[in-house]
């Protein structure tokens, strides 16, 4: 089978969970059946790689004359790259796209090559209204592209049952069109690794417990709600916030103001690491933490929780989206109740109560070191049992085969 994978993010240009997913999925597809299948990856960037059965081609940004309207620069650039991707797509048996950034190309390639289109849905535009702050009326375009891809895709991969439910609520495709295939984790890379000197390099006291957050500064990740919870966390711990890449200048400013306010309201040290931490170092930060906290208001799956769990750390997380399918309440962590404003506004209905609930769950685990240790051990076991990339890649390949065979039979029926 000739597989065409189209993605915005691909190494070394990865900034979110979708990029991590594509990276490891491609690695496994090549490792499992590299001799039997051919994999072509076309992505955003300057990447170039070629081999017998595996090739990567990056598409650079569009020239400035493509967009005189600076407000829509980002989206026009995306559309231009999609046209370029369509022109570069070679012979393929199936095309697999990730996120709205690549859906135009996927729909066009499907028509040009008359092959099945698969989309993996890592998030949904109707569930992320704050994106209008980032891309203005370009949000109308991203939403339209997502809707169009849902209607045109032969197969839709949802990264959790929670995501499948959201897809059915937002777009009403036939349930038979959707396959749940979880995200995964490299359990060899994410494993408990103790190096106190790395903690010291970030200003963290290795002899004192700390609560850890890792994520981008965005409404989706709920970082501001966690910062509001910090004054209610019990004394005697450190708070480590690995939080960078703010979506907008406005949320970057809000983050700075709220962190300073939290520092004034607690005797605990709040250590804010604003740059993106390399994987080898983030593994160490996970491994030494007392617990990891995920305050996301919208999280279709939450790879970040798998990373912490793989390092043997319990998780405190909001009970939203696919998180309850990853974090088992009372066994690998604590799920915090979460009530959104509405189906289209995922912010907490009672933000002050949500901040208190986060702090209460964190304090509950901080008071119970033996329970944390047991939860961490069970978390690692759960990751190994359910979220290995090999099984996920095999499920994906099987789905490709099903869709290709179904299309072949439909074509034969039309010829009769």
Q: Residue 345 domain-assigned?
A: yes
Using one digit for the tens of pLDDT, what is the confidence trace for 206-249?
A: 999 999 999 999 999 999 999 999 999 999 999 999 999 898 99
8 A C-beta contact, residue 43 and residue 25: no
Is residue 95 situated within a structural domain? yes
Q: Is residue 191 part of a domain?
A: no
Residues 171 and 29 in one domain: yes
Query: What is the rounded distance in angstroms from the CA atom of residue 160 to the CA atom of residue 178?
Result: 11
Does 173 fall in a domain?
yes
Contacts for 169 with CB less than 8 Å, ≥ 6 apart: 343
Q: Domain check: are 318 and 360 in the same one?
A: yes
Give the C-alpha separation, 368 to 199, whole Å: 23
Same domain flag for 240 and 334: yes
List, for residues 370-412, the tens digit of each pLDDT value. Answer: 999 999 999 999 999 999 999 999 999 999 999 999 887 777 6
**SS3 call for 147:** helix
**Average pLDDT over the chain, rounded to an integer:** 94
User: CA–CA separation, 96 vs 281, rounded Å?
Assistant: 32
Tokens at 49, concatenated: 């790689």
Range of the domain at 111: 2-184+388-415
pLDDT band at 200 (very low <50, low <70, confident <90, very high): very high
Euclidean distance between CA atoms 162 and 142, whole angstroms: 22
Kindly state whether residues 286 and 298 are assigned to the same domain.
yes
Chain segment 18-60, per-residue pLDDT in tens: 999 999 999 999 988 666 899 999 999 999 998 889 999 999 9
Distance CA 4, CA 93 (A): 8
Looking at residues 122-138, what average pLDDT do you find? Answer: 91
Residue with tokens 């986060």, as numbered in its chain = 358
Residues 170 and 53 in one domain: yes
Q: Is the pTM of this model over 0.85?
A: yes
Flag whether 334 is in a domain. yes
**Nearest one of 408, 387, 393 to 34, comparing CA atoms:** 393
Tens digit of each residue's pLDDT (9 = 90 or more) over 292-348? 999 999 999 999 999 999 999 999 999 999 999 999 999 999 999 999 998 888 999
How far, CA to CA in Å, does 81 sit from each of 64, 74, 85, 114, 320?
13, 11, 6, 21, 33
What percentage of the chain carries pLDDT values higher than 90?
85
Specify whether 293 is located in the same domain as 309.
yes
DSSP symbols for 325-353: HHS-BTTTEEEEP--BS-SS--SBSSHHH
Do 299 and 399 fall within a single domain? no
Q: Look up the CATH number of the domain holding residue 36.
A: 3.40.50.2000
Q: What is the mean pLDDT of residues 199-205?
A: 98
Regarding whether 360 and 226 lie in a shared domain, the answer is yes
Nearest to 333 by CA among 304, 353, 354, 355: 304
151 and 259 together in one domain: no
pLDDT for the residue 51: 85
Number of structural domains, the chain?
A: 2
Asked if 283 and 193 count as a contact pair (C-beta separation under 8 A), the reply is yes
Q: Are residues 288 and 373 in the same domain?
A: yes
CB-based burial of residue 210 (10 Å sphere; 0-12 exposed, 13-18 middle, 19+ buried)? buried
* Residue 190 domain flag: no
Q: What are phi and psi of 188, to 5 degrees?
A: -80, -35
> Residues 250, 349: one domain?
yes
Contact 118, 96 (CB under 8 A): yes
Q: What is the pLDDT of residue 416?
A: 56
Peptide bond into 331 cis (omega under 30): no
């Amino acid at each position: 089978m000739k597989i065409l994978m189209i993605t915005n993010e691909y190494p070394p240009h990865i900034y979110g969970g979708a990029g991590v997913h594509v990276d490891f999925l491609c690695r496994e597809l090549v490792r499992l059946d590299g001799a039997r299948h051919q994999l072509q990856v076309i992505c955003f960037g300057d990447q170039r790689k070629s081999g017998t059965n595996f090739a990567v081609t990056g598409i650079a940004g569009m020239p400035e004359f493509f967009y005189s309207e600076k407000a829509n620069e980002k989206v026009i650039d995306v559309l231009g790259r999609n046209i370029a991707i369509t022109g570069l797509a070679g012979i393929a048996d199936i095309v697999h796209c990730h996120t709205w950034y690549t859906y135009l190309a996927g729909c066009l390639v499907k028509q040009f090559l008359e092959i099945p289109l698969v989309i993996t849905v890592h998030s949904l535009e109707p569930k992320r209204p704050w994106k209008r702050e980032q891309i203005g009326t370009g949000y109308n375009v991203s939403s339209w592209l997502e809707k169009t891809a849902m209607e045109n895709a032969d197969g839709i991969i949802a990264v959790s049952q929670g995501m499948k439910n959201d897809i059915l609520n937002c777009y009403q495709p036939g349930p038979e069109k959707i396959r749940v295939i979880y995200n995964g984790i490299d359990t060899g890379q994410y494993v408990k690794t103790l190096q106190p000197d790395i903690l010291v390099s970030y200003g963290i006291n290795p002899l004192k417990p700390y609560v850890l957050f890792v994520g981008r500064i965005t409404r989706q990740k709920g970082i501001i709600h966690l910062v509001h919870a910090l004054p209610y966390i019990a004394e005697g711990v450190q708070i480590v916030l690995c939080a960078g890449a703010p979506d907008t200048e406005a949320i970057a400013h809000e983050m700075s103001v709220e962190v300073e306010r939290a520092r004034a309201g607690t005797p605990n040290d709040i250590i804010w690491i604003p740059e993106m931490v390399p994987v080898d170092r983030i593994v160490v930060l996970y491994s030494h933490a007392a617990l990891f906290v995920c305050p996301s208001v919208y999280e279709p799956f939450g790879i970040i929780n798998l990373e912490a769990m793989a390092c043997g750390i319990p998780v405190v997380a909001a009970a939203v989206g696919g998180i309850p399918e990853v974090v088992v309440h009372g066994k690998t962590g604590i799920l915090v109740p979460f009530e959104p404003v509405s189906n289209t506004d995922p912010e907490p209905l009672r933000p002050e109560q949500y901040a208190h609930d986060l702090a209460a769950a964190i304090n509950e685990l901080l008071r119970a070191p033996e329970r944390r240790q047991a939860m961490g051990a069970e978390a690692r076991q759960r990751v190994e049992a359910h979220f290995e990339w090999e099984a996920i890649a095999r499920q994906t390949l099987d789905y490709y085969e099903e869709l290709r065979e179904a299309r072949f039979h439909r074509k034969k029926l039309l010829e009769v």
